[in-house]
Structure 1
Amino acid sequence: MFLLSDVRFLPEAPEHSAAIEAIADEAFGPGRFARAAERVREMAPHAAALSFVALFEGTVIGSVRLTPVAIGNVPALMLGPLAVRPSFKNRGAGKALMRLAERAARAAGERLIFLVGDPPYYEPLGYRPVPPGTIVMPGPVDQRRVLVLPLVEGAEAELAGAVQPRRQVSA
């Protein structure tokens, strides 16, 4: 029997990469490479120090990654993928990974996290929709699924523009 208390949560390390890819393949299938969120992940590498894995009996069962980007001129983090092996879903590991990522982002001084995902899952974790067109993704996306979690009060009011690599943002 799986209990959340039996799961260890650790920062992502290079040796976790193959397992993370396998879990993402299992969770999202080959169609994931056609999604707008994947286009963002191709722009910039994720921040391993802000990304985490869940291990059960030494095996990676879930992960979450945060990728530093900019929305217009506003630094942001894109969350994703968040994936948990099917046999471990609906037991709290995904939400625990989300909370770890949020705490790490706050501690790093980040201003906000955004994602493309299901509002009923993410809204109880503090994510909320943004007005359509506020965040312009590099490809088609259902605007109702673009959600933001401000880490600093009012940070979402600054958002306007295309998602781009953070390094291109001028001071």
Structure 2
Amino acid sequence: MIEIVPENPAQHADAIEDLFDRTFGPGHFAKTAERLREYSASLPHINRVAVEDGRVIGVCRVWPLVVGEARRPALFYGPVAVDPAYRGNFLSLRITEAALEAGKAAGWPAAVLIGAFSLFGKAGFTVTPKNRLTFPGPQDQGRVMVRDLAGDASELEGLVTAP
């Protein structure tokens, strides 16, 4: 049986890093999204981990960020990774939805995600208008999405940075 639980860093951190390496390869550190993560710390109480028989098979990490000159707070969702043996059953979507609920329950106003609308649109994300959100590096604007949590994601505009 697959359980989706909050991340316990002492228990899950090494397995999550191994999953990221197996899923994305070493090139994932070169992505623009990593520029946001390297100056921040994920939020284990909001992160969600899929576990089966004590083994980490999926994860959605979540990071605080601020947007624009107004420095509006939001959460950055990702990376989302699922063990290749478990792909095809929307586990990544289930993990992300659990993390979104945790972010909303914690009072965060909005979520930002870089990914495929064909998947994450099912979790309520919408693609932002081109260049409404900019990043500290090149980013495919067609993959930049937002979603309301406990506030209004349409208020987000400008440069996305770590807090």
Same fold per superposition (TM over 0.5): yes
Question: For 2:147 and 2:39, how far apart are their aligned partners in 1?
Answer: 21
* Percent identity between the two aligned chains: 36
Structure 2 residue aligned with 1:161, among 150, 158, 161?
Answer: 158
Q: How does 1:64-79 map to 2 (within 5 A)?
A: 64-72=60-68, 73-79=71-77
- The match for 2:7 is 12
Residues 25-48 of structure 1, C-alpha deviations (whole Å, 9 max, x = no match): 111111111111111111211111
RMSD after superposition: 1.1
Question: For 2:126 and 2:18, how far apart are their aligned partners in 1?
Answer: 29
TM-score (norm 1): 0.89
User: 1:92 Cα shift?
Assistant: 3.1
What SS does the aligned partner of 2:131 have? coil
Instruction: Count residues in correspondence.
Output: 160
Return 5+ residue gaps in structure 2 as ranges.
none
- The match for 1:81 is 79
If each structure's helix is expressed as a fraction of its own residues, which one has the higher value? 1
Q: How does 1:42-81 map to 2 (within 5 A)?
A: 42-72=38-68, 73-81=71-79
Question: For 1:152 and 1:108, how far apart are their aligned partners in 2?
Answer: 8
Runs of 4+ residues deviating >3 angstroms: none
What SS does the aligned partner of 1:49 have? coil
Question: For 1:152 and 1:103, how far apart are their aligned partners in 2?
Answer: 10
User: 1:50 Cα shift?
Assistant: 0.4
Structure 1 residue aligned with 2:31, among 28, 35, 40?
Answer: 35
User: 1:156 Cα shift?
Assistant: 2.4
Question: For 1:50 and 1:103, how far apart are their aligned partners in 2?
Answer: 9
Residues 116-141 of structure 1, C-alpha deviations (whole Å, 9 max, x = no match): 10111111111001111111111111
User: 1:152 Cα shift?
Assistant: 4.0
Question: For 2:154 and 2:57, how far apart are their aligned partners in 1?
Answer: 36
Question: For 2:130 and 2:53, how far apart are their aligned partners in 1?
Answer: 43
- The match for 2:116 is 118
What SS does the aligned partner of 1:94 have? helix
Letter in 1 for 2:162: P
Question: For 2:37 and 2:118, how far apart are their aligned partners in 1?
Answer: 24
- The match for 1:22 is 18
Letter in 2 for 1:102: L
Question: For 2:117 and 2:78, how far apart are their aligned partners in 1?
Answer: 14
TM-score (norm 2): 0.94
- The match for 2:95 is 97
What SS does the aligned partner of 2:14 have? helix
